[in-house]
Structure 1
Amino acid sequence: MTEHTPRRIYGADHDDSDPYATTPGHDVELVGGPLDGQLLDVTALTPRSAYGPGGRADYEPRPGCATRWDWSGDVPW
Structure 2
Amino acid sequence: MTKAPRVYGTEHDTPATGPQPGHTYRELVGGPLDRQLIEVTGWTHDEITTGAQLITPHSAYGPGGRASYGPTFSCPDGPWVWEGDGP
Deviations 1:14-34 (A, max 9, x none): 796632133467111101111
Aligned alpha-carbon RMSD (Å): 3.2
3-state SS of paired residue (2:32): helix
TM-score between the two structures when normalised by the length of structure 2: 0.58
Q: What is the number of residues matched between the two proteins?
A: 72
Query: How has the CA–CA distance of structure 1 residues 61 and 44 changed in structure 2, closer, same or farther, with 3 Å as cutoff?
Result: same
CA distance in 2 between partners of 1:61 and 1:21 (Å):
19
The structure where helix makes up a greater share of residues is 2
Q: Which residue of 1 aligns with 2:77?
A: 66
Unmatched tracts of structure 1, length 5 or more: none
Identity %: 38
Aligned structure 1 segments of 4 or more residues deviating by more than 4 angstroms: 13-17, 44-51
Gaps of 5+ in 2: 56-63
TM-score normalized by the length of structure 1? 0.63
| Partner of residue 27 from structure 1, selected from 19, 25, 28 | 25
Structure 1 match to 2:60: none
